[in-house]
Structure 1
Amino acid sequence: MDIQPYQLLVIDDTTHALLLVDGPNGEILAEIPYPPEYTPTELLLAPDQAKAYIPAVGKNGSGALFIANLSQRSIYRLPVKIPAPTQFTLSPDGSYAYFSVPDGMIYALDIATMSLKNWGNPAKAACVGLAADDKAVYSVWEHNDQGSLAVFDHQGQFMSEHNLTGIPTNITLDCHGHIFIPFTTTHFTIEGVICFNRDIQDDNTPIVITAERCIYPYSTSPSPAYPSHVATSPDETIAYVVNEENSSITVIDSDSAAIIRHMELSRSISCLHILPGGDFAIATSHIFSDLSLIDLRNGRLLSSTNTQRELLGYLAILRP
């Protein structure tokens, strides 16, 4: 099994530490503690991979944004008060952080000036996913029996809104102009993924739905799938849809959203992180609080961690 070199950043909630791990051999290179009174809600690498952002919620309901300096192997808190963050993303250049809070409000934080701006709650609903590119910020919202995609410019100006037929669970962008939104409903036969093609200009916002795929039609699944996350291959021609509830991955073509195959794993996973080379991936699990190694080429689960550590479902991959 030939796996290219990489390192992992993963959060251990048992010891309240950010772990730096040598990926191929599993050796823990560093344990960087964070304040135990806070629970991380996300983990994102800065564009230069020199630091990582860790939004967190305190036991008293307050919010905080921590920075992990990976060269110094230390964690510090940004000196700005923020509400408790639920969804979180960064601008491509790392100069802004965007996050939502439990009441659905979206905030933009200027990292350099520490200034915080409230964008409001345009959908009057719960935000379940955020993503950003160099043109816009994309948010998905859960309504009673459906969802919506709302798009803002980087100053918080509302640009457009698009209704979704199912209840969204997440959002992923790739570099080829695709937006992937996995969705579920109370009836499993219309679970799936919606693919948009984005081409945002300065004066308009044409975002066109290109495909909507049902993950499992009537004849192939006896139970709900709960599509929870989409990861893309290194060349971003393939998208992998994680189905958390029925322990599988659906592989689709990024351009057409045509289903290529299904991988039955027999173990629930929540998010997928593609390793360098694209043949393998690390999966996190919100249910088991562990990591799994997935062979994407052959469609099989190779191994899972066996440790007393409670590994939260937030992970970042440091590439050489």
Structure 2
Amino acid sequence: MESLSYQLLVIDDTTHALLLVDGEQGEIIAEMPYPLEYTPTELRLSSDYSKAYMPVIGTNGTGAIFVANLEQKSVYRLPVQLPPPAQFTLAPDDTCAYIADPNGRLYSLTIPSMSLVSWGNPEEASCVGLAASSTAVYSVWEQDNQGFLAVFTPKGELVQEFPIPGIPTNIILDDAGYTILIPFTSTAFTLEGIIVFKPTEANESNPSTMISDTCLYPQDKSSSPAYPCHVAISSTEQVAYIVNEESGSITVIDLPSATITRHIKLGRSISCLHLLPSSNLAIATSHIFADLSMIDLANGRLLSTTNTERQLLGYIAVIPLPISE
């Protein structure tokens, strides 16, 4: 019988190192340092889990990408000069990366050839998230206290734009590359919630035909926003767990019907959520507390938090490992 174990890849800001950690035992397997003058902005695994790509911004304002070879347990820098990568994602085949700088300009980086191409940027708009399938690049933008989804071909051709009913905070694409989820926070005239886009025809010449469902949070008596900011999707792709950073909670949504089914109150701020393989457990990161939390999603409770002097940045990766029993 085969079951799944896992490792964690964690960024330790105290020692400026990527930590490869045994997920079940919590023991550090390897520490892979990176230069002190760089600050990571994301962490993405390759499709075969053998590498991790870490975009960074240097103290001089330039950008770079470091790659962790998880088999050799070493880190190296890609030999290319980059703009500061405020947003970053990988194509499913790992041959191309997509980058947005702090001014909202988009770029594609062909990794084998190290060729960087500028796509331009929408006027006076800020990119708050990127995601990519094999047929399209999805970008979400904030502009004038509202937002929109812009869909590009992998060659950088703008195909279509879709409005967002609030201020978008992120964009998440499911593993199949079929469902796009965009959490959004409120304006003076809108509620918070999540919008779910599903392409009806996905091909390189026309990746933009979509249907959408909007799930709005109920009106809260509190004046403080929940601030939905990240989404984790179940392996069945039927359930989405929405991280609410300000309210320290998780909203559980049934994806086929786009309806709220549960609300988990944690009592502390979390920023991102990562589901663990073959379990009802998840690990949450926190940009505020720089630690990790273990969450029991089945029973809706916070189990534990890390107790260490290490400052663990909010970007981690879960690496599933098949083991024989």
TM-score (normalised: structure 2): 0.94
* Pair 1:118-2:109 in alignment: no
Alignment of 1:16-35 (within 5 A): 16-35=16-35
The AA in structure 1 aligned to 2:18 is L
- Tell me, in whole angstroms, the C-alpha distance in 2 between the residues paired with 1:30 and 1:215: 42
Equivalent residue, structure 1, for 2:202 = 200
Q: How does 1:75-114 map to 2 (within 5 A)?
A: 75-114=75-114
Q: For 2:190 and 2:162, how far apart are their aligned partners in 1?
A: 22
Alignment of 1:107-146 (within 5 A): 107-122=107-122, 124-146=124-146
Hey, what's the Cα distance between the residues in 1 that align with 2:109 and 2:177? 27
Aligned to 1:236: 237
1:100 and 1:60 map into 2 onto residues whose CA distance is 18
Shift of 1:137: 0.3
Distance in 1 (alpha carbons) for counterparts of 2:205 and 2:61: 40
Q: Distance in 1 between matches of 2:112 and 2:212?
A: 38
Distance 1:177 1:6 in 2: 25
Per-residue deviation, 1:177: 2.0
Rounded Cα–Cα distance in structure 2 between residues aligned with 1:110 and 1:40: 20
Aligned residues: 317
In 1, distance between residues paired with 2:171 and 2:211? 14
Match of 1:211 in 2: 213
Per the alignment, residue 272 of structure 2 pairs with 271
Aligned-residue Cα RMSD (Å) equals 1.6
User: 1:260 Cα deviation (Å)?
Assistant: 0.8
The residue identity in structure 2 corresponding to 1:180 is L
Label 1:203 to 1:88 Cα distance change in 2 as closer, same or farther (>3 A): closer
Distance 1:278 1:210, change over 3 A: farther
Is the 8 Å Cα contact of residues 196 and 207 (structure 1) preserved in structure 2? no
Q: Is the 2:133–2:177 Cα contact (8 Å) retained in structure 1?
A: no
How far the C-alpha of 1:24 sits from its partner, in A, is 1.2
The letter of the residue matching 2:137 is V
Partner amino acid, structure 2, of 1:287: I
2:210 alignment partner AA: V
Partner residue in 1 for 2:224: 223
Runs of 5+ unmatched residues, structure 2: none
8 A contact 1:243–1:269 mirrored in 2: yes
The one-letter amino acid of 1:79's match is P
Please name the residue that 1:290 is paired with.
291
What percentage of residue pairs aligned between the two structures are identical? 59
- The aligned amino acid for 1:19 is L
Matched, 1:318 2:319: yes
Q: Which amino acid aligns with 1:303?
A: S
Give the whole-Å Cα distance in 2 for the aligned partners of 1:123 and 1:132.
22
Change (3 A) 1:216 1:4: farther
- Counterpart of 1:245 in structure 2 is 246
1:234, 1:277 within 8 Å by CA — same for their partners in 2? no
Check the 8 A contact 1:8/1:318 in 2, yes or no: yes
Q: How far apart, in 2, do the equivalents of 1:44 and 1:176 lie? A: 16
> Which amino acid is the alignment partner of residue 215 of structure 1?
Y
Distance 1:257 1:278, change over 3 A: farther
Measured in 2, the distance between the counterparts of 1:204 and 1:56 equals 33
Which runs of at least 4 in structure 1 moved beyond 4 Å after TM superposition?
Answer: none
Give me the whole-angstrom Cα distance separating, in 1, the residues matched to 2:12 and 2:309. Answer: 10
Which amino acid letter does the alignment assign opposite residue 285 of structure 2?
T
